[in-house]
Structure 1
Amino acid sequence: MKKRFSSKTLLPLLFAFMIVLSACTSGKGNDVTLPSPTNTPNQTDGNKKQTEEGLYSIEDFSNVKTNEGEPIKGGTITYGLVTDTAFEGILNYNFSSGIPDAKVLEWFDESLLTWDKNYVFTNDGAATYEVSEDGRTFTFTIRDNVNWHDGKPVTAEDWEFAHEVIAHKDYDGPRYGSDFTNIEGLVEYREGKADKISGIKVLSDKKLQITYIKSTPSLLTGSIWTYPLAKHIFGDMEVAKMSSSSAVREKPISFGPFKVESIVPGESVVYVKNPDYWRGEPHLDKVVLKVINPTTIVQQLKSGGVDLVDSFPIDQFPDNANMSNVEYLGVIDRAYTYIGFKLGKWDEANKVVAPDPNAKMADVNLRRAMWHAVDNDQVGKRFYHGLRWNATTLIPPSHPEFHDASNPGIAYDVEKANQILDEAGYKKNGEFRTKPDGSELVINFISMTGGDIAEPLARYYVQSWNAIGLNVNLELAEFNSFYDRVGNNGKDDPNVDVYMGAWSVGIDVDPTGLYGRDALFNFPRYASEENDRLLAEGVSEKAFDVATRQAIYKEWQQLMVNEIPVFPTLYRSEIVPVNKRILNYAIGDGTGIYLHELAVSQDKPFVAE
């Protein structure tokens, strides 16, 4: 999982959350050139050195905060959720899908299982597990002291109930997919052929057994659903109304280290400590979360208006690397940004993608030329000062066992891009090219609002495609609108041909949750028999052998380079400034530091000198 404040809270599925990207503007504008590196001091805070070219390296950052001073009793901190849009407010992992909501959730909710730095489930969490010899049956035991925030015990029946809700025909969330259909009897339950899911058995108040149809290596690294749903609260609700209920939107509960005290929808949340937290009573008394616009984050940090932020705009780092009241932490992010091509629609009736061979972007030659036309190496250096870098495949280096570092992807080569388009019949008719049949070709490109570099970054991509004769229209959309239009709600906007997005991937390397036929988040609506084969083999019995699984995913990464339903643009580092009064904090996985341990050394934040 992505451990924010070291709470092991985000989804352990490869199903991904969305990250707000720097993006877009509307219409065409003046030509944009890549900016020059910012001239800043060669030495930052003692260990972040800048090269002569103005670049930084993620290798120079630590992911664990240096403790300065002793913790005081209690205290309140302020956490900045850095975004230019309100969080949606679907505050239950069983129904939510967006990263802003996940940032709100991670303070009071968590997975029943935790995992180590290699993304393998451990027995250190709120529940433990045992596995049968054939690897198909898991027996889970929830610890006796794990209770909901209202004092009711978290039970095996709550865990079963979460599966029943997600499997219900009226469920309107994003979770249902191959991870659930692999449970014995779950499909029959969904189709109304059974009253119970035969593969899930409640053995006692705290003990649950789940039997899967196939034993896969992903079961130990993320494809088990680990978020219960409080049946004493949701049990009498209609499934279709759960995600919009006050129990999700206004008064959410879970069993994490803090409890929600109050919410200003989309703007802020006040949490108070959960003295009954199963790991132990939290050090802090209160946490205040507030939405911070990227344009004001530096001022907020310098003044002590926020102690922590979920992320820091990389483009603002060089000018603020010497901020005296914070320590910068860094880690390779489990994420990548990408350009996606719409190749079909979502078939809502059958819950599968429906590729359209006549889609505007269906010609792989067009997609390959558009990849050749952009210089992502320079984008990473000039826009992000080396703290994001050229991406080559769809498994990021945060998963080093499976990322194919030997695969070069597709290189920047404008001459090659033009040659591909010429040979494929996209002839120039004046400034822009036509389709092979001679008709007009206009490509509608949509991206998200963001920080200061959003507009020039989006314009750079459009300019690069203009340079090879493609007429690309650019449109701006804020986060929630953007993902609705690309298909987060199952409805694909026909006016979107190409989009710029980002995925924050889960702990399991299996890409099915993003690129499988039954994946709602397969926004390109891409499918092929070869893709089906490789995704199935990646979670097959033979894939328990790591070398075999590596070979399968190496082949899959090359397939995606060949077929290009999307192409990755940048791998990402996560840079997080932390006020120096903060103690016991880390980012990344496997640090063994948890959210209830978070403390402060003094009542007030340090202020920049």
Structure 2
Amino acid sequence: MTLKTKMLATTAAVLIAASGAAFADTHPVTGETLASDQTFTYRVGDESPSYDPGLVEDVDGAGVVRDLFEGLMNQDADGNLVPGVATGYEASDDGLVYTFTLRDNAKWSNGDPVTAGDFEYAWKRAATPALGSPYAWYIELMSIENASEVIAGDVAPAELGVTAIDDTTLEVRLSQPLPYFPQMVTHGTTFPVHQATVEEFGNDWTLPENIVSNGAYILTEFVPQERLVQERNEMYWNNDATIIEKVVKLVVTDENVALTRYLAGELDMTDVPAGQFPSLKEQYPNQAVSVPNACSYYYMFNLRDTAPEELQDPNVRKALSLAVDRDIIVDAVLAGGQEPAYTFTHWATAGFETPDIPMASMTQEERNAKAQELLAEAGYGSDNPLTIDLVYNTNESHKAVAIAISQMWKQTLGVETTLANQEWQTFLEARGNGDFDVARGGWCADYNEASTFLDLMQSSSGYNDSKYVNEEVDALLAEAKTSDNPQANYDRVEEFIAQDTPIIPIYHYAAVDMFAENLKGWPYENFEQNWYSRNLYKVAE
């Protein structure tokens, strides 16, 4: 074995830990005077389907899971890998075996030690068909030995290539080298779970009265569709470095109501409603923030055999894509620093060079003319108008985008669009079951590499809700995993997306939020916007 990476605690963390809990008045590193109330309250638009690491699938749920649980590695404010439960790792010369060394002072909230066996159990649980994890495919993406066979139910979970050598040594065996494998273990699916608790309480193990977790916080209150409260976990190995005492997540469906509550001082953070960033930035220059965020917004077509016949025609799909004026969406509807998208992969993804997609270099007038030509060739026009049902999850920004695009389709192509919004969990189920014509999609990177976006185009991907199948795309993505320079493969996959149009890339996200002026420590430079409440703090006003 050759030592590839040995992660050490950051200087700041060492200083904070060394100071113990004696920094009641000032921050131990910055010297700032701390507020007496260290409660962080933020808003989300809907309830997450699950806070079980093996089942979590949405961005807001992942934020809670990062507070309640801790994986092998974490990210710092710039998105770099830093130690979590593991102090470091070694990789074999051939890149097929990773060995993680776990710290010996990590504990569960009930005082039990966190061991390599907890990770082995969690990973095998996430891959087993019995759990039915929507993220089981992530274990396969990690190229873990026998992952495909375990997920398919062809071999027992015990055959998955992860083994606890002893309590502080976890060995992971890959089926092929994966250069970005270490980045993937910051994702919630790879976090440990407490086996005895899971087995005792079953589906209820994550309720406040039952849950045992190993992160910086414990769950103390949960009222679905209303609020979730976390408080400091005294058993967390680095508890002395935590300043925020309580984290309160409030479900506020309406973005404008949430903004009103933020301005009234009830929230420390909330999203900026569509179109309001310029004025808010002018009024509150130190509170309104927009930074690139590793997510892409898109519409997906239902390509199942049971879907409407008109959507099976790539010319129809391409016409609808061409007719979307992305500049109007980002500049007039959203106005928050988002960028028009002609590729699925976010433009700021590490190592990714945006390929030349013909549509991107056309004027909107040229796109509209081509769209009209393609739709006419498909047999649709004023005497035979195309009708479409478009579904999105309840959110004012999604509604604004849907209305704008439906108007573009009407004006340019004469398309009649029926809009429907659904509550988040209902929406996810409908999309997964194929109960839609066109549906809103938003994908946020699980790690900072182009494959985190493009792997959704794999025919076997758990989040390929279009059910797009292209054998050449599958081959290109498989080859990219072992390539020293996969850019050419990524270029070709993006070209296939533009050609076949299983989805319509619409815009690349920016994180557009309001932050209380006394809230500090937010990782603005972390492209994935993976934040940890334990790194935040509030200064005296």
TM-score normalised by L of structure 1: 0.75
Q: Give the match's secondary structure for 2:111.
A: coil
Q: Superposed, which structure 2 residues align to 1:572-591 within 5 Å?
A: 572-589=509-526
Identify if the C-alpha distance between structure 1 residues 408 and 113 changes in structure 2 by more than 3 Å, giving closer, same or farther. Answer: farther
Alignment-derived partner of residue 423 in structure 1: 377
Q: Give the unaligned 5+ runs of structure 1.
A: 1-66, 345-354, 434-440
Distance between the aligned counterparts of 2:44 and 2:263, measured in 1?
A: 15
Asked if 1:514 corresponds to 2:462, the answer is: no
- Change beyond 3 A, Cα 1:359–1:291: same
Structure 1 equivalent of residue 22 of structure 2: none
Offset, 1:159: 0.6
User: Relative contact order, CA 8 A, sep 6+: which one is greater?
Assistant: 1
Structure-1 separation of matches of 2:455 and 2:211: 26
- For the 8 Å contact 1:444–1:474, the answer to whether it is kept is yes
Q: Residue type matched to 1:252 in 2?
A: I
Does residue 600 of the first structure (1) align with residue 538 of the second (2)?
A: yes
Q: Which residue of 1 aligns with 2:319?
A: 369
Task: Report if the CA contact (8 A) 2:144-2:172 is conserved.
Answer: yes
Cα pair distance change 1:455/1:113, threshold 3 Å:
closer
Query: Partner letter of residue 408 of structure 2?
Result: S
Residue 492 in 1 paired to residue 446 in 2?
Answer: no
Q: Does 1:383 align with 2:329?
A: no
Q: Relative to 1, partners in 2 of residues 1:269 and 1:368: Cα closer, same or farther, differing over 3 Å?
A: same
Does 1:259 pair with 2:209? no
Give the direction of change, closer, same or farther, for the CA distance of 1:416–1:456 in structure 2 (3 Å limit).
same
User: 1:288 deviation in Å?
Assistant: 2.3
Q: Which residue of 2 aligns with 1:22?
A: none
Instruction: Give, in angstroms, the shift of residue 514 of structure 1.
Output: 1.7
Counterparts of 2:56 and 2:530 in 1: how far apart (Å)? Answer: 26
Q: CA deviation at 1:423?
A: 2.5
Cα 1:255–1:531 change in 2 (3 A) is same
Matched, 1:470 2:415: yes
What's 1:216 paired with?
178
Contact 1:82–1:294, Cα closer than 8 Å, also in 2: no
> Where does residue 394 of structure 1 map in the other structure?
344
Contact 2:339 2:509 in 1 (8 A): yes
1:297 CA displacement: 2.3
Stretch of structure 1 that moved more, 213-222 or 413-422: 213-222
Cα distance in 1 for residues equivalent to 2:530 and 2:250:
27
- What is the 5 A alignment of 1:176-215? 176-177=136-137, 179-180=139-140, 182-187=143-148, 189=150, 191=153, 193-194=155-156, 196-197=158-159, 199-215=161-177
Contact 1:89 1:265 in 2 (8 A): no
AA aligned opposite 1:200: V
CA distance in 1, matches of 2:197, 2:223: 22
Alpha-carbon spacing, 1:571–1:185, altered in 2? closer, same or farther (3 Å):
closer
| 1:315 and 2:275 matched | yes
Instruction: Please tell me whether the aligned partners of residues 392 and 408 of structure 1 are also in contact (alpha carbons under 8 angstroms).
Output: no
Between the aligned partners of 1:573 and 1:500, the Cα distance in structure 2 is: 17
SS at match of 2:327: helix
Which sits farther off after the overlay, 252-261 or 408-417?
408-417
The aligned amino acid for 1:333 is N
Percent identity for Structure 1 against Structure 2: 24
Contact 2:336 2:510 in 1 (8 A): no
Distance 1:324 1:474, change over 3 A: closer
Provide the C-alpha distance between the structure 2 equivalents of 1:463 and 1:265, rounded to a whole number of angstroms. Answer: 36
May I ask how many residue pairs the two structures share in their alignment? Answer: 498
Deviation at 1:155, TM superposition (A): 1.0
| Mapped contact 1:186–1:198 kept (Cα < 8 A) | yes
Q: Please report how far the alpha carbon of residue 250 of structure 1 lies from its aligned counterpart in structure 2 after TM superposition.
A: 6.0
- 1:446 counterpart = 2:391: yes
Separation in 2 of the partners of 1:555 and 1:371?
19
CA distance in 2, matches of 1:584, 1:404: 31
How much has 1:80 moved relative to structure 2? 1.9
- 1:106 partner SS: helix
Contact between 1:267 and 1:290, CA under 8 Å: does it hold in 2?
A: yes
| Post-superposition offset of 1:187 | 4.9
> What is the Cα deviation at residue 399 of structure 1?
0.4
Deviation at 1:209, TM superposition (A): 0.8
Worse-superposed segment, 182-191 or 102-111? 182-191
Q: CA deviation at 1:382?
A: 0.6
Relative distance call for 1:427 and 1:384 in structure 2 (3 A) is closer
C-alpha distance 400-155 of structure 1, shift in aligned 2 (>3 A): closer
| 1:196-234 deviation per Cα after TM superposition (whole angstroms, max 9, x unaligned) | 226222211121111111112242332786311211212
Q: 1:130 to 1:117 in 2, by over 3 A?
A: farther
Matches within 5 A, 1:61-460: 70-72=32-34, 75-83=37-45, 85=46, 87-88=47-48, 90-115=50-75, 122=81, 124-127=83-86, 128-177=88-137, 179-180=139-140, 182-187=143-148, 189=150, 191=153, 193-194=155-156, 196-197=158-159, 199-222=161-184, 226-235=190-199, 242=202, 244-247=203-206, 251-281=210-240, 282-292=242-252, 293-309=254-270, 311-324=271-284, 327-344=287-304, 359-385=309-335, 387-404=337-354, 406-407=356-357, 409-410=359-360, 411=362, 412=364, 413-429=367-383, 432-433=384-385, 441-451=386-396, 454-460=398-404
The 1:535–1:561 alpha-carbon spacing in structure 2 relative to 1, beyond 3 Å, is: same
Deviations 1:156-207 (A, max 9, x none): 1111111221222311221212633833344555536447226222211121
Q: What CA deviation, in whole Å up to 9, does each residue of 1:282-309 have, x standing for no partner?
A: 1132222222331222222222111223
- Indicate the larger mover: 167-176 or 216-225: 216-225
The unaligned stretches of length 5 or more in structure 2 are 1-28
1:461 aligns to what? Answer: 405
**2:139 match: secondary structure:** helix
Q: Distance in 1 between matches of 2:35 and 2:421?
A: 47
Asked if the contact 2:322/2:371 (under 8 Å) is kept, the reply is yes
How far is the alpha carbon of 1:531 from its aligned partner?
0.8
Structure 2 equivalent of residue 551 of structure 1: 488
The correspondence for 1:501, drawn from 441, 445, 464, is: 441
> SS of 1:110's equivalent?
coil
- Structure 2 distance, partners of 1:217, 1:233, is 35
| 1: CA distance, partners of 2:147 / 2:296 | 33
Cα contact 1:250–1:263 (8 A) shared by 2:
no
CA 1:288/1:423 → structure 2, altered by over 3 Å: closer, same or farther?
Answer: closer
Q: Deviations over 1:441-467 (max 9, x none)?
A: 53222123212x554432221122223
Q: CA distance change for structure 1 residues 550 and 248 in 2, over 3 Å: closer, same or farther?
A: farther
1:307–1:323 distance in 2 versus 1, CA, 3 Å:
farther
Which residue is equivalent to 2:4? none
Q: 1:562 is matched with which residue: 488, 494, 499?
A: 499
Could you tell me how far apart the structure 1 residues matched to 2:51 and 2:522 are?
Answer: 24
Superposition map of 1:50-61 within 5 A? none
